[in-house]
Each structure stands twice: as structure tokens, then as C-alpha cells.
Copies of this chain bind each other. A is one copy, B any other.
Amino acid sequence: MFKHSKVLQYPAKPDKPDPVFAKKMQEILGGQYGEISVAMQYLFQGWNTRGNEAYKDLLMDTAAEEIGHVEMIATMIARLLEDAPVYEQEKAAEDPVIGSVMGGMNPHHAIVSGLGAMPESSTGVPWNAGYIVASGNLLADMRANVNAESQGRLQVARLYEMTDDKGVKDMLGFLLARDTMHQNQWIAAIRDLEEKEGVVVPGTLPKECEKDEFAHTLYNFSEGEESAGLDWLKEDAPDGAPFEYENGPVAYGEKPELKPAPKQSHNTPPADERL
């Protein structure tokens, strides 16, 4: 069960309108690695957790915070759109800068949401749940989480470089710090889980299931041997066995030929039957 406080976790006030930046900021709201993604990912991971209540609680702590981040960014976008000349054709005709704003902003902000945030990316693509994962395996999911926070913080950092609005930068600075915390916590969780289950996910699969002889070799499928020079390749792999390098990858399979399809499929008959 969730409750809402009206106050924001952190202020979300730009110094001045900027509809073009509002469009760009949509990326960290409704893009692949925006705040909707992390909120939904942590919610589903938390709800699906079985028998690991401390991690479930950690996931719900972080999920609830992230819904609050969606709220902060939605508020910031709504304010970046205030007092901007988005409907004023006459002004645009006279002033190329206004014309450029009307061309460069997200048309949805003017036509669909009435100067509000949209649940979509910076290119106007609606958010979809194909961006997220909740697998039931905590180590796998913590890796998904540290990736999401890394991509997310990278995008926030780039947006930070793309504006000189002090109010916007202030809020982005807060989000950068929270992403630092979230990267830290998921990395610490990974280290904890790897210690208990091993580094390879899933750690519970009996050894005899996999073809062990193929489990530590880098095959050189791309002509040139630059990758062979990576220092770590000369050491043991993280799971303890030594890495190997094979220059000319061998094919263990054969050339596959499929059987003809049944006549009811109306596939093209085999060439020799057509003669």
C-alpha cells in the first residue's frame, strides 16, 4: 500500500522557461533508463521476491523513492513549459528564435498534455515495460539495477552539461547524488550475493548441465587480435578457472539442411521436386 506526501523530495524549479530542454528532459522521465523504468523495475522485483525479506524491503524503499523522482522531473518539465510562447504564431513569424522553439519542442507538450510532462522519451516514444526486468533471481536483477543506475546517471550527467539554468542544474545535482547511492547499494548487494552464490548466474545449476569445456574460451570471431591483448585475459576468470583464447574458432556443428515442409504449409517445394 502506498501513501503520497504533497511535498517534493527536492525542489524542482527552473530559473526560466525552456521548452526545448523540456523535450530533452523527457529522456530521464520516460525513456529506456528514465525514472519510470527504475520505479517499475524495483516494484516488480520487490513484489516477486520470495524468501529474502531484507532485499525485498530494500527494493521497496528504493522503488518508493523513485516514484518521487518521477514526480520531481514531471514537475520540472511542467515548469520549463510555463510562460513560453508555444501557441503564438504571430510572434514566431516575427522572431526566428521563437520560431525555432516552436519547431524544436515536443509537439505533445503543446497539443496533447497542455504544457505538462508526458510518459514518454525525448523522441516522443511512449514508455513501455519491455525496458524492465524482474526475474526472481536477485543477483541477475541487482546487475540489471546497477546497469540501470549507471545508464541513468550518465544521461543525467549529459543533460547537466546541456543547460546553464541554475534551478535545473540544482535538481540534476541531487539526482546525480541519489544515482551514486543507488549504484553503490546495488554493487554492495552484488558483492554480497556473489559471495554466497558464485559469480555466474544462476549459481544453482548443477555443473553437469553445462558443457564445461566451452565455458572459458574467447573465440576470435573478429579478424585482428587486439582483444587478446587485454591484461585480464591472461589471468583467471572471475569464477576461478583460467581464461583461454582461441584464434581460429572451430565449428562443432554441421551445415544444417531442413526437411521439406508439409504440403499444407504451401512453402516453396524443394528445388528437385519442382523440376
Complexed CA–CA distance, A99 and B183 (Å): 34
- A202-B128 contact, Cβ under 8 Å, with A24-B111, A111-B24: no
Choose among B30, B129, B222, B225 the residue that contacts A127 (Cβ–Cβ < 8 A).
B129
Most buried by B among A114, A127, A219: A114
Given known A113-B48, A135-B154, A154-B202, contact A214–B174 (CB-CB < 8 A): yes
- Smallest distance from the beta carbon of A103 to chain B beta carbons, Å? 3
Which residues of B sit under 8 angstroms from A55, Cβ to Cβ?
227, 230, 271
Expressed in whole angstroms, the Cα–Cα distance for A40 and B260 within the complex equals 23
Size bracket of the A interface: 35 or more
The reply to whether the CB of A57 lies closer than 8 angstroms to some CB of chain B is yes
| A15 at the binding interface (Cβ < 8 Å) | no
Minimal Cβ-Cβ distance residue in B for A158: B111
Tell me the complex Cα distance, A161–B85, Å. 12
Q: Identify A184's interface contact among B11, B83, B87, B238, CB under 8 A.
A: B238
**Chain B residues in 8 Å Cβ range of A9:** 1, 249, 251-253
- Residue-wise interface mask of A (57-90) relative to B, using a CB-CB cutoff of 8 A (1 in contact, 0 not): 1101111110110111011001100110011111
Contact: B6 with A3, CB < 8 Å? no
A158 to chain B, nearest CB (A): 5
CB of A114, distance to nearest CB on chain B (Å): 2
| New contact pairs (18) apart from A50-B78, A106-B123, A158-B264, CB-CB < 8 Å | A2-B68, A4-B61, A8-B254, A8-B256, A44-B119, A47-B75, A47-B78, A48-B117, A50-B261, A52-B270, A58-B230, A65-B249, A101-B103, A114-B265, A125-B126, A139-B150, A181-B214, A187-B238
24 contacts between A and B (CB under 8 A): A1-B9, A1-B68, A5-B251, A11-B252, A30-B129, A40-B119, A44-B74, A44-B118, A48-B116, A50-B261, A53-B271, A55-B230, A55-B271, A89-B163, A108-B121, A112-B133, A116-B134, A116-B136, A126-B129, A128-B130, A160-B209, A162-B264, A176-B209, A188-B232
